[in-house]
């Protein structure tokens, strides 16, 4: 079979490109090796009626009017602004760290232990906060998350959080629009792909001979797998998810949807999710029972379990070598979180996909 544009992967990157090309009147087809569309933002309903984000909690947020308008074409959103807690010495306290917590436990008279250009996460964190705070909130959390000691991790991981000297509890207070699709992410993705031919349970790399493209192939799977790992395997971290259903639980088990468990002593999981919190409150209150999910980081071998690209120089260099090869291919575009070996928030993934589809359309016009 031959189509104009063949899109491998029905996650946000593939689906947005498919939608925008189809809207422009182009012939597209999407294939995905999973048994559902939507990639990692997929969600499903538990028997209790509680909606679970299959591959980990997804909080949608953006400050872009255009991205917000775009996603609202496919569903309405209810407001949800994530606010997280961390279990510290058996007390649930705010994450990101509140200035008042530092003042209460350390005082006001402290100076950063590290100054200068940090070479790793530990040095970067010690330039921002007292050692005792770093050890309680950051060090072991990251050691569990990445499976190596904090002084082996890139300093720029520290840019993913801040200290809230004003005690602002929301995870992303600056994002203008925040929410969760009213009928769920799975439905939003189905709507995005409406009237576009989609084949699920189809692994493109194992079936290349069955399908090809006249104009372009857009591959949103792992870049190293595309090249059959011939330069070596990129390292990822994934999370095993242990679900606990408490059918008789009245109300909620924890005060927020996400409670972090940042110490080794607290067990191997890094966080516990209570999904009911992420539903509209009027629906959540009508559901009896609750579902808790513990997330335990591990290093996956199976590319279907890849979640977070590993933040170190060795893997960045290996990716760069694959990227050079990818960029030299004709009519093949390798993109998305797995194709670019980068963590992208959903709005960033949408923006990049829109950019690529714009380039594809402009390119096709030029060559006509």
Examine residue 328 and say whether the peptide bond preceding it is cis (omega within 30 degrees of 0).
no
295 is catalytic: yes
For residue 8 the two structure tokens come to: 């491998």
> Out of 3, 7, 22, 40, which residue is the one contacting ligand FAD (CB under 6 A)?
40
Closest CA to 49 of 243, 273, 276: 276
DSSP string for 205-243:
GG-GGG-EEEEEEEE-S-HHHHTTTTT-PPPEEEEEEEE
323 is catalytic: no
How many residues make up the chain in this entry? 368
Exactly one of 119, 156, 321, 343 is catalytic; which is it?
343
The answer to whether residue 184 forms part of the interface with ligand FAD (CB under 6 A) is no
Minimum CB distance to ligand FAD smaller for 87 or for 307: 307
164 is catalytic: yes
Least distance from C-beta 36 to ligand FAD, angstroms?
A: 8
Is residue 96 within 8 A of residue 159, CB to CB? The reply is no
Size of the site for ligand FAD (CB under 6 A): 34
The answer to whether residue 8 forms part of the interface with ligand FAD (CB under 6 A) is yes
SS3 assignment, position 94: strand
The answer to whether residue 336 forms part of the interface with ligand FAD (CB under 6 A) is yes
The answer to whether residue 344 forms part of the interface with ligand FAD (CB under 6 A) is yes
Is residue 8 within 8 A of residue 14, CB to CB? The reply is yes
> Out of 7, 32, 124, 158, which residue is the one contacting ligand FAD (CB under 6 A)?
32
Q: Which of residues 206-245 bind ligand FAD (CB under 6 A)?
A: 220-221
Q: In what order do the strands lie in the sheet with 332-334?
A: 198-199, 28-31, 2-8, 212-219, 332-334
> Out of 3, 5, 6, 59, which residue is the one contacting ligand FAD (CB under 6 A)?
59
Least distance from C-beta 13 to ligand FAD, angstroms?
A: 3
Exactly one of 26, 164, 337, 352 is catalytic; which is it?
164
> Out of 19, 58, 136, 276, which residue is the one contacting ligand FAD (CB under 6 A)?
58
Contacts with 52 (C-beta within 8 Å, 6 or more apart), sequence order? 43, 44, 45, 46, 243, 275, 291, 293
Q: Which of residues 305-324 bind ligand FAD (CB under 6 A)?
A: 307-308
- Give the whole-angstrom CA distance, residue 296 versus residue 267: 9
Minimum CB distance to ligand FAD smaller for 56 or for 300: 56
Least distance from C-beta 161 to ligand FAD, angstroms?
A: 14
Closest CA to 272 of 302, 296, 298: 296
The answer to whether residue 12 forms part of the interface with ligand FAD (CB under 6 A) is yes
Exactly one of 160, 167, 229, 320 is catalytic; which is it?
160
237 is catalytic: yes
Residue given tokens 């969600």 in the structure block: 43
- Give the whole-angstrom CA distance, residue 138 versus residue 149: 11
Least distance from C-beta 135 to ligand FAD, angstroms?
A: 25
343 is catalytic: yes
> Out of 3, 22, 26, 33, which residue is the one contacting ligand FAD (CB under 6 A)?
33
- Give the whole-angstrom CA distance, residue 49 versus residue 279: 10
345 is catalytic: yes
> Judged by CB under 6 A, which stretch of 58-66, 124-132, 270-278, 318-326 contacts ligand FAD?
58-66
341 is catalytic: no
Is residue 311 within 8 A of residue 157, CB to CB? The reply is yes
Q: Applying CB under 6 A, which residues contact ligand FAD?
A: 8-14, 31-34, 39-41, 55-60, 203-205, 220-221, 307-308, 336-338, 344-346, 349
Catalytic residue numbers?
Answer: 160, 164, 237, 271, 295, 343, 345
């Amino acid at each position: 079979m031959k189509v104009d544009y063949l899109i491998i992967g029905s996650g946000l990157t593939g689906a947005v490109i498919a939608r925008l090309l189809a809207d422009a009147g182009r012939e597209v087809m999407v294939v995905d090796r999973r048994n559902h569309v939507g990639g990692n933002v997929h969600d499903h309903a538990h028997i209790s009626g509680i909606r679970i984000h299959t591959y980990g909690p997804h909080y949608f947020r953006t400050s872009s009017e255009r991205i917000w308008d775009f996603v609202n074409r496919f569903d309405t959103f209810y407001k949800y602004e994530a606010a997280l807690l961390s279990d510290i010495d058996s007390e649930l306290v705010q994450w990101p760290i509140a200035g008042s917590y530092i003042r209460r436990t350390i005082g006001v008279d402290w100076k950063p232990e590290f100054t200068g250009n940090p070479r790793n996460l530990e040095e970067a964190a010690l330039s921002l906060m007292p050692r005792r705070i770093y050890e309680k909130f950051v060090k072991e959390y990251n050691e569990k998350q990445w499976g190596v000691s904090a002084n082996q991790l890139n300093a720029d991981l520290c840019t993913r959080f801040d200290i809230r000297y004003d005690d602002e509890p929301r995870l992303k207070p600056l994002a203008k629009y925040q929410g969760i699709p009213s009928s769920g992410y799975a439905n939003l993705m189905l709507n995005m792909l409406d009237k576009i031919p989609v084949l699920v349970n189809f692994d493109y790399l194992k079936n290349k001979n069955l399908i090809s493209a006249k104009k372009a192939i857009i591959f949103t799977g792992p870049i190293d797998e595309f090249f059959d790992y011939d330069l070596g395997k990129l390292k990822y971290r994934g999370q095993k998810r242990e679900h606990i259903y408490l059918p008789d639980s009245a109300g909620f088990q924890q005060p927020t949807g996400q409670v972090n468990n940042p110490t080794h002593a607290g067990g191997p999981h890094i966080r516990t999710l209570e999904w009911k919190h992420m539903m509209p409150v009027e629906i959540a209150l009508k559901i009896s029972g609750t579902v808790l999910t513990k997330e335990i980081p591990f290093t996956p071998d199976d590319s279907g379990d890849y979640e977070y690209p590993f933040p170190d120089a060795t893997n960045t260099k290996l990716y760069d070598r694959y990227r050079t090869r990818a960029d030299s291919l004709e009519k093949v575009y390798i993109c998305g979180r797995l194709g670019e070996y980068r963590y992208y928030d959903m709005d960033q993934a949408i923006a990049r996909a829109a950019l690529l589809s714009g380039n594809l359309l402009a390119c096709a016009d030029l060559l006509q």
